[in-house]
Amino acid sequence: MDTATTIAALRERLAPWRRAGERIALVPTMGNLHAGHLQLVEAGRERADRVVVSVFVNPTQFGEDEDYASYPRTLEEDVRKLRGRSADLLFSPQPAEVYPEDAKTVVEVREMNKMLCGQFRPVHFNGVTTVVCKLLNMVQPDVALFGEKDFQQLVVIRRMVADINIPVEIVGVPTVREADGLAMSSRNDYLSASERRIAPSLYQSLCAAKKVIEAGSLDFRQIEQAQLAVLRQAGFSPDYFSIRRCSDLLPAADQDGGLVILAAARLGKARLIDNVQLTAG
């Protein structure tokens, strides 16, 4: 596996692949890689001749009181894991390489960036869309892969790509879970032993809501309130538990078919997010 830390070096390594007509996949990450990230690499390998993985802890998607400084940075271990999965190129730039000192441009997907997680993390999605737009311009891949665990992020990125006509296929890859159902996340490392035992309840709550809907109940607001109470009783401080349309994340109505149930909740130092998809009716 080759590595690059500058945009110039990245483009130099990409050039012969592009001249050869090879299909290129991009897997954007913030590092501290786990099996979920590696599944994205595998999915990229299935869809392209070459796989580029970026490792960049993006400062613009963290709020003032969030965990940018303490976010786990494990580049040496990440390199070892990527070599075991046959990634072709690791791009790991410094912030000054990605954001020039006088940078003034922000990519914003309006409305979608303020709902759900955006309500509780006001700067988050503008930071995500800006850095993803930059990475897509730097790499110019044929396909880019994102985990469905961050479902709102996936929908927002698809909207951005469509709106500004970026010629890339965006692929969502199913969530990878621990044996007890907890969605794999770099922030799971923040959980204490006792919190780790509680954490799978978030997924269980989503599955319980899905089961109720599939049984025929369409009182979505009542279902949301019931599961919020369940999460609080389990020891979570939930930000939201919401039933939405998969396509645009607007609140679900009785006649909607493709639905996603999303939840975000704090447990100790960790903020956990998860979702399940279903077809109502």
**Looking at residue 39, what is its pLDDT?**
97
Give residue 268's pLDDT. Answer: 97
Sheet of strand 270-279, all strands in order from the earlier edge strand to the far edge: 237-245, 258-267, 270-279
- The answer, yes or no, to whether residue 281 has pLDDT greater than 80, is no
Residue-wise pLDDT tens digits, 51-106: 999 999 999 999 999 999 999 999 999 999 999 888 999 999 999 999 999 899 99
Measured distance CA(29)–CA(45) in Å, rounded? 16
Structure token pair of residue 210: 């899905």
Q: How big is the chain, counted in residues?
A: 281
SS3 content of the chain, % helix, strand, coil (to 5): 40, 20, 35
What local confidence, expressed as pLDDT, does residue 93 receive?
Answer: 98
- Give the 3-state secondary structure of residue 48: coil
Out of 12-26, 192-206, 244-258, least confident range: 244-258
Active-site residue list: 37
> Around Cβ 174, how many Cβ atoms within 10 Å?
12
Q: Which residue has the tokens 């999303």?
A: 262
Domain range list for the chain: 2-173, 186-279
pLDDT at 254: 85
| pLDDT, mean over the chain | 97
Grouping H, G, I as helix, E, B as strand and the rest as coil, residue 108 is: coil
For residue range 193-225, list pLDDT tens digits in order.
999 999 999 999 999 999 999 999 999 999 999
Between the alpha carbon of residue 81 and those of residues 10, 141, 243, the distances in Å are 20, 22, 36
The pTM (predicted TM-score) of the whole model is: 0.96
Mean pLDDT of 259-271: 98
Sign of CA dihedral 107, 113, 114, 118: negative
User: Reduced to 3 states, what is the DSSP secondary structure of residue 49?
Assistant: coil
Fold category of 2-173 in CATH: Rossmann fold (3.40.50)
**Long-range CB pairs of 100-108, under 8 A, 24+ apart, other chains included:** 105/130, 106/130, 107/133, 107/160, 107/164
> Does residue 251 have a pLDDT over 70?
yes
Query: Is the pLDDT score of 12 beyond 90?
Result: yes
Non-local CB neighbours of 102 within 8 Å, separated by 6+ positions: none
Domain 186-279 CATH class label = alpha beta
CB atoms within 10 A of CB 117: 23
* pLDDT for res 21: 98
| Residues paired with residue 274 on neighbouring β-strands, in sequence order | 263
Output the CA torsion sign for 6, 164, 244, 111. positive
| Residues contacting 172, CB < 8 A, separation 6+ | 145, 146, 147, 148, 151, 154
